[in-house]
Structure 1
Amino acid sequence: MTPISPSPRARDLNLLLGESARDLVGTVVEATAEGVADSVRPTSVTVRPSGDTLVRYAVAVRRRDPPIVRETLVAATGGLVPEGAAVVAGDVHGESVEVGLWRWPHDPALPALARAVDGEGVRAVLARAGVPSARSASVAVQTYRPGRRAVLAITTGSERLFAKVVPPGELAGLRERHELLADHLPVPRLLATTDDGLALMPALRGTSGRTALRQGQPMPDAAALEALLDRLPGDLVAMGKTSDHRRRARHYGAVLALTAGNDGVRATEIADRIADADVGEYPVVAVHGDFYEHQLLLDHGTVTGLLDVDTAGPGRRIDDWANLLAHLAITDTPHARSWADHVLHHVRERVDVAHLRPRVASAVLGLATGPFRTQRSDWRERTRRRIALAEEWLTGS
């Protein structure tokens, strides 16, 4: 585990990634899993500018029978501790610290999760939705973001579905967006929802845009992407707040300052320059909010599905383009560069590139937080390269 700079705001980060983390997790394992933590490895880290921290751990638990069991545990501090988490209080360097803890799949912010992953809970939802072969359904976890969401892939015979698990308070917005967008775009209609935060939806046909890009498959024409975004219904403008790339850049810079040492200092300077850059005036319209290749399903370059519409709402079209270009910039393969050049040629005919650059730089700065968050072994070098790339976009060099 990598110690972080001694900044007071990094106290929680050091606590959850330092040597004390093993003792903390070990205590939970002994109390709830009836075993001993043989190894404790952080697999994802969420940090806020305040220093509030959430860490997901892969834990090897040694028991008498079987000898080793793999567990996932989560520890969080401050505002990242969800209501209902078990809280351990202690003293660290003379300061009182409270840590919220839970074991997978018993996430207190995602009450539907434990019921869903055991299979029986999902089978009951499938049966209510009238899905054939519900009793034979199998469940596989696709993604898990502690306290935020989980995505489960469900197979029933030849049919494939997905269940998204969100905090119950977010379910109404998710349901409303899917109902609204399914009338206009290749967005799946929800088959069923549960009050505790589970949304069931059919799988759409097509290959992930990320997979297609990496395999060198045809990618959509930029004009087709423009037409796709044009179909976002205007009613989305009333749903949520307009995102601001300048505020996001400052957020990312502050996170990098906590995690990336001197590179983080450079990131905060870039964030300040992004915030001061001229970004022009663009109308607020309906946007996807997190538009990039992985949100697309493709069939030989034709879009067959638009995913993760949770973020859809009011914004500026230029920011959807900037997010796509930022993801292509960090992919940096010949196929990605070729498609990025095509997209940029299309976009620069519609917006001032001087207004586009700080927006792309902001999105790249956000992506610079990813290598540390996912605890890659080479996270420092990857973070450094992405911060440099953000500066290149900002300056046009």
Structure 2
Amino acid sequence: MPHSQDGSELLTGPDAGGLLASAVSNAGGVLRSWELDHVDHRPGRSTKALYRTQVSWPALDGPHAPPREELFGASAHIGEREKDVASLEQSLLMTDGEITVRVWRYPDDPWLPMLARVCYPDVVGATLEELGVPTGTPPGTPLPLDVISYRPGRRAVLRVQLADRAVFCKVMQPRRSGEIVERHHHLASAGVPVPAVLAHHQGLVVLAELPGTPLSRAVLTEGAAACRGADLVALLDRLPASLYNAPLRAPWTDSAEFYAGIVGSSVPALAPRVDALVTAIRSGLAQVDARIGLRPHDVVHGDFYEAQVFVDRGRVVGVLDIDTVGPGRRADDLACLLAHLSILADYGATGRIAPEVHTRVEEAIAAWERVFAERVDPQELALRSAGVVLSLATGPHRQQEPAWESATETIVRVAERCVERARAAGAQASALRMPTSADPGSLPSVPSAPSSRIAARPRHEGPFADSPGDRDAPTQQRPITAVHGAAGPATRA
């Protein structure tokens, strides 16, 4: 099998069709067409990809039946063993001695064994009842559900509508769920408005729905009136100091070279620009470190942006996705929010959102950035924003957006503007540090996501489809049962 150092060339190029055809054939089907839907590329390490396919199942549907739309996942590892594989029974393993490729049919993700237990409308109710979550419906009643996000091999989030309320099924690798549940309980006991844990089991955590509206929606209609910037800072400041001893949450800027490598690999013409961004971020942070120090001094959320915050009538009422809470710097969280909003605003400038919405988002950025710059160092805030924007520049290729090359360049341009703001803030800070005749020693103070059973599937929408979440209408699914090269009919496990 031809391949690049990390398998990305194999899984994203034309040879991926042969891998998919082998997997489908082993399961008794015929691959009619395929297209890359999503790629998670870790340069030099591994690649995971998701494909939308058209597959015929002659033995089950008849030789003249139309093909069905199916999702297939694939992973490639080179020079290292697969880690944390929880189930081998619903995937096909292929290797040439150097590269190992595993192919599976959604929802039988080898790393997420509980996904198939919650992605079918006629199965999820029984799963919830078994875990002690009453659905308020007769046994076997199909429950409406949406896939909010799905990252092959990593995680999935599904929203399930019960008789009287909605719950969220968060699927992850089994080794992680216990820690996540414990962290939710810890934050709730400290008064942080996180979703209540309703149940959990071996990689599945069931969460209650938060009140209010996602800030990602509210900011589009209300702008800065959606909430006060000070309340966003106050929410973060409520994170309990007891979690300062949790594993260190590395800032996005620590991985700037990694993300630049992904962008430069997917769009080689951008490589010089992203390399220059990394250099500017590194040198700028060195200046900040020399001026105020960059030691972690706060408990941070770790992935704080508008889709994670819920508001109600101008008040902040909830926060999601606390998996990464731990020690860090407050500028990281505040920069993460500004970075996400800045990309959304820039898409508005290119006509991808309505002008009035663009105006409201810009107003929110301006209002909240002023507040944030009073809480943290402005130069650090801008540099941390640039680092987050650079990480988001990997999204258009990963999610296979239309015109993803152009979208990637747009995001890189946003990061460059963040660096320009950082330079201006740094120059201002340096000027303020110049001693005066009146006060020769003064320094500026710095505030401290075979069966004819219908399964819900993901659909990517918008520039941040996988970050804030994507939704999908249900479609018919049929499992693949090839196990380590063993052929078998397409039957449901």
Q: Using structure 2 for the length normalisation, give the TM-score.
A: 0.74
Quote the residue 1:14 is aligned against: 9
| Distance change (3 Å), C-alpha of 1:7 and 1:28 | closer
After superposition, the C-alpha distances for 1:322-347 in whole angstroms (9 at most, x for unaligned) are: 10110111011211111110111111
After superposition, the C-alpha distances for 1:149-186 in whole angstroms (9 at most, x for unaligned) are: 11111122122111111101111221111101122122
Cα pair 1:52 1:80 within 8 Å, conserved: no
The alignment status of 1:107 with 2:116, answered yes or no, reads no
Measured in 2, the distance between the counterparts of 1:37 and 1:8 equals: 25
Cα pair 1:74 1:101 within 8 Å, conserved: yes
Q: CA deviation at 1:122?
A: 4.7
1:277-316 equivalences under 5 Å are 277=284, 278-280=287-289, 281-282=293-294, 283-316=296-329
Q: CA deviation at 1:7?
A: 10
Cα pair 1:81 1:99 within 8 Å, conserved: no
Q: CA deviation at 1:132?
A: 4.6
Measured in 1, the distance between the counterparts of 2:148 and 2:113 equals: 18
The alignment status of 1:165 with 2:171, answered yes or no, reads yes
Match of 1:325 among 338, 357, 368: 338
Aligned residues: 385
Q: CA deviation at 1:268?
A: 2.3
Match of 1:345 among 362, 370, 376: 370
Measured in 2, the distance between the counterparts of 1:321 and 1:69 equals: 45
Match of 2:54 among 47, 53, 60: 60
Structure with bigger gyration radius: 2
Q: Which has the higher strand share?
A: 1
Cα pair 2:128 2:135 within 8 Å, conserved: no
Quote the residue 1:152 is aligned against: 158
Using the TM superposition, name which of 103-112 and 266-275 deviates more. 266-275
Measured in 2, the distance between the counterparts of 1:74 and 1:314 equals: 34
Aligned-partner SS, 1:117: coil
Q: CA deviation at 1:316?
A: 0.7
Quote the residue 1:42 is aligned against: 36
Report percent identity of matched pairs.
33
The alignment status of 1:143 with 2:153, answered yes or no, reads no
Quote the residue 1:3 is aligned against: none
After superposition, the C-alpha distances for 1:7-33 in whole angstroms (9 at most, x for unaligned) are: 954x6222111111111111111112x
Match of 2:182 among 152, 172, 176: 176
Using the TM superposition, name which of 106-115 and 267-276 deviates more. 267-276
Cα pair 1:165 1:197 within 8 Å, conserved: yes
RMSD: 2.2
Q: Using structure 1 for the length normalisation, give the TM-score.
A: 0.91
Q: Output the amino acid matched with 2:92.
A: A
Measured in 2, the distance between the counterparts of 1:220 and 1:199 equals: 29
Quote the residue 2:348 is aligned against: none
Q: Output the amino acid matched with 1:279.
A: V
After superposition, the C-alpha distances for 1:92-132 in whole angstroms (9 at most, x for unaligned) are: xxxx4321211111111111111222343552433542525
Quote the residue 1:123 is aligned against: 126
Measured in 2, the distance between the counterparts of 1:155 and 1:50 equals: 41
Q: Output the amino acid matched with 2:123.
A: E
What are the ranges of 5 or more consecutive residues in structure 1 without an aligned counterpart? 1-5
Match of 1:256 among 258, 263, 288: 263
Measured in 1, the distance between the counterparts of 2:418 and 2:266 equals: 22
After superposition, the C-alpha distances for 1:294-316 in whole angstroms (9 at most, x for unaligned) are: 10122233222211111211111
Aligned-partner SS, 1:200: strand
Q: CA deviation at 1:264?
A: 2.6
Match of 1:27 among 22, 30, 36: 22
Cα pair 1:368 1:386 within 8 Å, conserved: yes
| Distance change (3 Å), C-alpha of 1:271 and 1:189 | same
Measured in 2, the distance between the counterparts of 1:155 and 1:123 equals: 14
